[in-house]
Amino acid sequence: MIKIKRAVLIALGDELLSGIRKEGNCSWLANKLSRAGWKVECIEIIPDGNNSLTLFLEKWIGKTGLLVLSGGLGPTHDDCTRRAIAQFLGTELVPADEAYDKILSRYPEEMQKALEKSRDTQGVIPARTRPVHNPAGSALGVAFEEGGTSVRAFPGVPSEFRAMAEQELEQEMRPNSGIASSILIAGWAESLLKDRLAPVIERPELHITILPSPGLIEFYIRGAPEDVARAERDVKDLVPGDYLPSAAKSLADAVISGAKQKNISLACAESCTGGMVGGALTSIPGSSEVFFGSAVCYSNTAKKSILSVNEITLDQEGAVSSLCAAEMALGALKIYGSDLAVSVTGIAGPDGGTDEKPVGTVWFGLADKGGVETVKRVFPGDRDIVRERAKNFALDRLWRKITEKDR
Amino acid sequence: MIKIKRAVLIALGDELLSGIRKEGNCSWLANKLSRAGWKVECIEIIPDGNNSLTLFLEKWIGKTGLLVLSGGLGPTHDDCTRRAIAQFLGTELVPADEAYDKILSRYPEEMQKALEKSRDTQGVIPARTRPVHNPAGSALGVAFEEGGTSVRAFPGVPSEFRAMAEQELEQEMRPNSGIASSILIAGWAESLLKDRLAPVIERPELHITILPSPGLIEFYIRGAPEDVARAERDVKDLVPGDYLPSAAKSLADAVISGAKQKNISLACAESCTGGMVGGALTSIPGSSEVFFGSAVCYSNTAKKSILSVNEITLDQEGAVSSLCAAEMALGALKIYGSDLAVSVTGIAGPDGGTDEKPVGTVWFGLADKGGVETVKRVFPGDRDIVRERAKNFALDRLWRKITEKDR
């Protein structure tokens, strides 16, 4: 039996309710807490302004174990969190000079003068509460315990919220590794994967979540440690060769770490993805050890002059063809001098499709000193989705080639 | 005086509460509704499961104008929305065969058989409610009016939710163009921009939201149509040359539309951004008219062999230097044969920084037939943020060059 600790997260902000900014702080914290064995009962996004927050404090304090508030602690008139807490506790706002001085001491003199003006807003806290140091900004946080509920209020600026939560909730967020496992599975459609993994999905002792993204599915398992461990082994047995190494957070990550391990250097030739494959590979720190570069050749002229694609290929087969993909991959292999090169050329839309080559048609090439192979996919979806899928499929090709047993 | 219509949005899903997926449907709808003059009172993210949803229906029905539910309508046991509505209304679930047949008719025969099995879950609705057609998936939506509240429930799959909301709430989401305006401003730090725009920000009749992202700030104004129009004019007068054309949704969009207008062809040479500049430019449909390509040269060997950067430059100045950025931009101009080329070379971190060239140091080059200019920036932040800022600064350079009055 897992002991469940319960939490409620509340984000304040008119900008979140008008949809011009997506809520991210509570979502981030929910993830950390869930992996540490907490159950987040509810995330509420409410307007700036005193009244509604007091109602929410009354609703949840005493009913949940941890209540975390994001936002409403800055110096402007909208920033009402500390007043709402004081009203709820029936106390006054009092200066937290020592804590505010500690924050000010981090700033240059000129800035200190400006922040001094905000001492009576950012530097006060409700009596009977404790100030929380802000290592990334100038507004103090607030902490108190009431009716069995731990309450923490941090500013809504994401870098400040995270820094303060990491410091103040370090213990609460410590991952409980046994009770949750995430397996990334490449190259499966969601419905087919669900059929394949049904023997695991149907186990009543597990809580399974399946999170598909283009080309990669996250299979998230929660339960008792021994059940999770068994499920993890069984899933891997059901899709051998398709799950990413557990340390890899993405396909790009798996490609780079695999290439480093086997000392294989990489290059790309991109048309419809326009640099997204290179962008993904270079998002991984240390990718420069194995990634040499990507020739983004959007125009046919560039395909010819830079990648040595034949004029006849372009005239007779077109840029979106097996032959062009093959010549692009070979071209990238040659100009970068890498061990392995992948190419992508397709029709992302919305225009440019034909009956024979509809929007979504993408050819991929994979070249090494042993030769070149090509494969075609027709992806559904709009321009953004086709490009995202094409990027991930190119990474998938690289990853499988790199991890081939006979290399 | 603006008449405010009020709405509450509720998303169901354990995966949203465990933070493994970020809520997006309510956020998207909140944006649409806000631009149409609605005030979203609250977004609530609650667990899968009947009990809590019934409580929320009781809490909001009769108290708000529009209540939209996302999720809980599929065929699995977690999908409880229709049962919760039936319980709230005190009615039974009844078949909506005509509506479900309409959905089935879109699928191939084999798939129809599988979906037939789900008729008694996905194809039923509470009595006294109306089925909502799903043009993008197989689960019906539910609509009803109760106590002055319009209630709409759509499946949580983003493509289905959006398609059904666009169809069912078309009138509610129709933008009320006078009452909100969004101005994108490039190249300003948030604090300096706030000072510059203080005369507008301080007007009590306006509701201003400032949304900074790396290199681009969205200045969002709401209020009475005549106040918004005046504010928009005044903001543009205060930052002449720095606001994007109103049709442009991003810097990349502004670059591509500007280049098309002036018939200027573009190319890039990228090191630390790894293809992100090309990726951003090619995200714009029709970019192939003016964008030729990007030479991503991550390794020094590639910089030499592909972009003709001098060995002496790399030896004496290093890859992150004014001279290397200049040679990279000139190299891209030459190999792609474009009118204009931008280059990016820097240290994104976490390693590779020195006292002289700390992490975040990025050199940019801009070359055309008139010559080449370079500029250096040192960006704060981690690897992802440095790369994002570098990408946006490169786009900013291109945009300003393209829109120069004397071109």
pLDDT tens for B270-290 read: 999 999 999 999 999 999 999
pLDDT band at residue A111 using 50, 70 and 90 as cut-offs = confident
| Residue A140 confidence (pLDDT) | 94
Verify that A209 and A144 share a domain, yes or no. Answer: no
Q: Is the dihedral of CA A347, A353, A355, A356 positive or negative?
A: negative
The residue segments making up the domain with residue A384 are 251-403
Is B243 within a domain? no
Residues of chain A neighbouring B292 (CB-CB closer than 8 A): 297-299, 301-302
At A2, the pLDDT band (50, 70, 90 cuts) reads very low
Q: Does any CB of chain A come closer than 8 Å to the CB of residue B32?
A: yes
Chain A neighbors of B21, CB-CB under 8 A: 211
Same domain? For B298 and B377 the reply is yes
Question: Given CB atoms, is A241 within the 8 Å cutoff of chain B?
Answer: no
Tell me what pLDDT residue B76 has.
Answer: 67
A119 plus A209 within the same structural domain:
no
- Helical residues (DSSP H) of A36-157, grouped into ranges: 50-60, 81-89, 97-104, 109-116, 119-122
Say if residue B350 is preceded by a cis peptide, omega within 30 of 0.
Answer: yes
What's chain B's average pLDDT?
Answer: 91
pTM of the model: 0.80
Indicate the pLDDT class of residue A16, thresholds 50, 70 and 90: confident
Average pLDDT of every residue of chain A: 91
What tens digit of pLDDT does each residue of A99-109 get? Answer: 999 999 988 88
Same domain, B141 and B32: yes
Give the 3-state secondary structure of residue A247.
Answer: coil
pLDDT at residue A275 tops 50? yes
**Which of A168, A195, A223 is a domain's end point?**
A168
Judgement on whether residues A144 and A256 belong to the same structural domain of the protein: no
B212 contact A CB<8A: no
Whether B108 and B158 map to the same domain: the answer is yes
For the ranges A75-79, A222-226, A280-284, B73-77, the one whose mean pLDDT is highest? A280-284
Enumerate the residues of chain A whose CB falls inside 8 A of the CB of residue B23. Answer: 22-23, 27, 43
CB-CB neighbors (< 8 A) of B387 in chain A? 282-283
Angstrom distance (rounded) from CA B53 to CA B12: 8
The predicted-structure confidence for A315-371, as pLDDT tens digits, reads as follows 999 999 999 999 999 999 999 999 999 999 999 999 999 999 999 999 999 999 999
Q: Which residue of B has its CA nearest to A29?
A: B19
Which residues of A, range 365-394, sit inside 8 Å of B by Cβ?
Answer: 383-384, 387
Residue B391 lies in a domain: yes
- What is the number of structural domains in chain A? 3
Cβ–Cβ contacts within 10 Å for residue B104, how many? 18
Interface test with A, best of B8, B34, B45 (most A CBs within 10 A): B45
Q: Indicate if ipTM > 0.85.
A: no
Only one residue has tokens 């005046």, namely: B230
Q: Are A292 and A369 part of one and the same domain?
A: yes
How close, in Å, is residue A98 to chain B by CA atoms? Answer: 26
Q: Low-confidence residues of chain B, pLDDT below 50?
A: 1-3, 406-407
- The answer to whether position B140 is within a domain reads yes
Q: CATH number for the domain including A222?
A: 3.30.70.2860
Residue of B14, B18, B39 best to disrupt the A interface, most CBs of A under 10 A: B18
Using an 8 Å CB-CB cutoff, list chain B residues near A268: 275, 296
| Pairing mode of beta strands B5-12, B93-95 | unpaired
What is the CATH classification number for the domain harbouring A97?
Answer: 3.40.980.10
Same domain, A365 and A225: no
Q: Assign B242 to helix, strand or coil.
A: coil
* Interface residue B173 vs chain A (CB under 8 A): no
d(CA B65, CA A29): 31
- Put simply, the answer to whether A274 touches B297 (Cβ < 8 Å) is no
- A286 Cβ under 8 Å from any chain B Cβ: yes
pLDDT score of A294 more than 70: yes
Mutate to test the interface with A, among B220, B294, B382, B386 (most CBs of A within 10 A): B294
Q: Does B47 touch chain A (CB under 8 A)?
A: yes
Give Cα separations from B110 to A18, B105, B117 (angstroms): 43, 12, 12
Write the residue in A18, A275, A348 that is nearest to B278 by C-beta: A275
- For residue B34, being part of any structural domain is answered with yes
Q: What is the pLDDT of residue A192?
A: 82
Same-domain status, B216 and B277:
no
> Rounded to the nearest 10 degrees, what angle do helices A251-262 and A383-403 cross at?
30
pLDDT tens digits, residue range A123-137?
999 999 999 999 888
**Other beta carbons less than 10 A from residue A240's beta carbon:** 7
Give pLDDT, residue A94. Answer: 95
pLDDT in tens, A369-398: 999 999 999 987 789 889 999 999 999 999
CATH of the domain at B295: 3.90.950.20
Hey, is the C-beta of B190 within 8 angstroms of any chain A C-beta? no
| Confidence (pLDDT) at A272 | 97
> Which one of A77, A294, A301 makes the best mutation probe of the B interface by having the most chain B beta carbons within 10 Å?
A294
- A383 and B336: CB-CB below 8 Å? no
In a domain? residue A19: yes
Confirm whether A206 is domain-assigned: yes
- Taking the CA of residue A79 and the nearest CA in chain B, the distance in Å comes to 14
Q: Are residues B213 and B307 in the same domain?
A: no
Which of A187, A216, A238 is where one domain is finished?
A: A238
Shared-domain flag, residues A181 and A268: no
Does the N-terminal peptide bond of residue A75 adopt cis geometry, omega within 30 degrees of 0?
no
Residue A406 has pLDDT above 60, yes or no: no
Phi, psi torsion values for A139, nearest 5 degrees: -90, 135
Q: Which residues of A touch B351 (CB under 8 A)?
A: 285-286
Whether the pLDDT of residue A77 is over 60: the answer is no
Determine the pLDDT at residue A135: 86
Nearest CA in chain A to B297: A293
Q: Name every chain A residue with its beta carbon within 8 A of the beta carbon of B44.
A: 42-45
Query: CA of A336, closest CA in chain B: separation in Å?
Result: 6
* Pairwise CB contact (< 8 Å): B23 & A20: no
Contact present, A154 and A68 (Cβ < 8 Å): yes
- Domain assignment present for residue A243? The answer is no
Last residue of a domain, one of A216, A238, A260: A238
* Residue A290 is assigned to a structural domain of this protein: yes
B358 and B222 in a common domain: no
